[in-house]
């Protein structure tokens, strides 16, 4: 059973970068069958797709965040990561990692989510 787990700081200061890692177990980030992605959800609000990465390193970003987002993958550690630069309070959210299995875009497995608060 594929499992994903987010890790990283729960508090980030404004203007600093947000960095999160997703560790995958029960599957491989080097699989050609999966895309690996990040989604966020501000408190009390809906879901926003941030971006996805393929095992080859190809990335796909939401244009609304593209200038500040970098998603990378480390197949040797079975992890993929999110970096969001120059954060503001509007970036406060629960951040989920997920995998798109079979159909690109169909998010079949999710991490439990991690709350990141942007505050000084």
Partner 1 sequence: DIQMTQSPSTLSASVGDRVTITCRASQSIGTWLAWYQQKPGKAPNLLIYRASSSESGVPSRFSGSGSGTEFTLTISSLQPDDFATYYCQQYTNYPWTFGQGTKVEIK
Could you tell me which residues come within 8 angstroms of residue 95 by beta carbon, excluding any fewer than 6 positions away?
Answer: 6, 20, 38, 39, 40, 50, 82, 113, 114, 115, 116
Q: What residues numbered 18-47 form the site for partner 1, per CB under 8 A?
A: 46-47
Q: Among residues 30, 56, 64, 117, which is the contact residue for partner 1, using CB under 8 A?
A: 64
Q: Among residues 48, 68, 75, 85, which is the contact residue for partner 1, using CB under 8 A?
A: 48
Least Å distance between CB 106 and partner 1? 5
**H or E element that contains 62:** none
Could you tell me which residues come within 8 angstroms of residue 98 by beta carbon, excluding any fewer than 6 positions away?
Answer: 4, 36, 37, 38, 39, 107, 108, 109, 110, 111
The nearer residue to partner 1, 12 or 69, going by C-beta atoms, is 69
Map residue 89 onto helix, strand or coil: helix
Q: Among residues 10, 32, 43, 63, which is the contact residue for partner 1, using CB under 8 A?
A: 63
Q: How far is CA 19 from the centre of its chain?
A: 9
Q: Among residues 36, 38, 80, 96, which is the contact residue for partner 1, using CB under 8 A?
A: 96
Q: Among residues 36, 38, 92, 111, which is the contact residue for partner 1, using CB under 8 A?
A: 111
Contact residues: partner 1, CB under 8 A: 46-49, 52, 60-64, 96, 98, 100, 102-108, 110-113
């Amino acid at each position: 059973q594929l499992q994903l787990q987010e890790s990283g700081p729960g508090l980030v200061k404004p203007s600093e970068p947000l960095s999160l890692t997703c560790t995958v177990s029960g599957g491989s980030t080097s699989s050609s069958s999966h895309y690996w992605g990040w989604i966020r959800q501000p408190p009390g609000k809906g879901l926003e797709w941030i971006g996805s990465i393929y095992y080859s390193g190809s990335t796909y970003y939401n244009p609304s965040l593209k200038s500040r987002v970098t998603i990378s993958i480390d197949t040797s550690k079975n992890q993929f990561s999110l970096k969001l630069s120059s954060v503001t309070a509007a970036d406060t959210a629960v951040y989920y990692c997920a995998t798109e299995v079979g159909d690109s875009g169909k998010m079949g497995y999710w991490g439990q989510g991690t709350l990141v608060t942007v505050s000084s």
